[in-house]
């Protein structure tokens, strides 16, 4: 994935948007994949991106969260925590497959397929320049922002 062009994706997002990966050329694009709306880790992660959103905009970066939840679930999650960015619904796992983030995970002793918390940074030329897999939530948004800011210098 690294140093390759962002996969062409067209998926539904909150606020009645249709997300097209090619629409964001000229800006940094942050795609963060997370397991499930309204769960503790995913909520914390979203809030950290929310709290730093102005700094991301200042760095010419657009943020999108992606999970397999429905648009209705996304709209509720976004409204409840006042996320200033959109959430993409990937119920058919199109983006999940393209970015290879579906992994077998243990939940309550059972093997289940789920999203491995992962973030991808796409540069203004549409190239994937950083990827974080198996993300630990705390401090992650700041790390992504620092990566964007250092590429400006």
* 42 noted as active-site residue: yes
Give 93's Cβ-side CA count (13 Å radius): 10
47 closest CA partner among 11, 77, 90, 12: 77
16 closest CA partner among 64, 91, 71, 83: 71
Tens of pLDDT along the chain (153 residues)?
789 999 999 999 999 999 999 999 999 999 999 999 999 999 999 999 999 999 999 999 999 999 999 999 999 999 999 999 999 999 999 999 999 999 988 878 888 889 999 999 999 999 999 999 999 999 999 999 999 999 865
Architecture in CATH for domain 13-152 = 3-Layer(aba) Sandwich (3.40)
Which residue among 13, 31, 42, 61 is the active-site one?
42
Domain boundaries, the chain: 13-152
Q: Give the Cα separation of 29 and 22 in Å (integer).
A: 10
pTM for the whole structure: 0.95
């Amino acid at each position: 994935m690294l140093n390759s062009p962002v996969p062409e994706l067209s998926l539904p997002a909150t606020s009645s948007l249709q997300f097209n990966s090619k629409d964001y050329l000229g800006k940094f694009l942050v795609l963060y994949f997370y397991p499930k709306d309204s769960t503790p880790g995913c909520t914390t992660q979203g809030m950290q991106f929310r709290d730093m959103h102005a700094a991301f905009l200042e760095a010419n970066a657009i943020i999108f969260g992606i999970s397999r939840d429905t648009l209705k679930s996304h709209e509720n999650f976004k409204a409840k925590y006042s996320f200033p960015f959109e959430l993409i619904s990937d119920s058919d796992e199109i983006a999940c497959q393209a970015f290879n983030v579906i992994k077998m995970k243990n939940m309550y002793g059972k093997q289940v397929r789920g999203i491995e918390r992962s973030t991808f940074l796409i540069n203004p030329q549409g190239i994937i320049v950083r990827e974080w897999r198996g993300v630990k939530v705390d401090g992650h948004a700041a790390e992504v922002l620092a990566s964007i800011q250092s590429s400006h210098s």
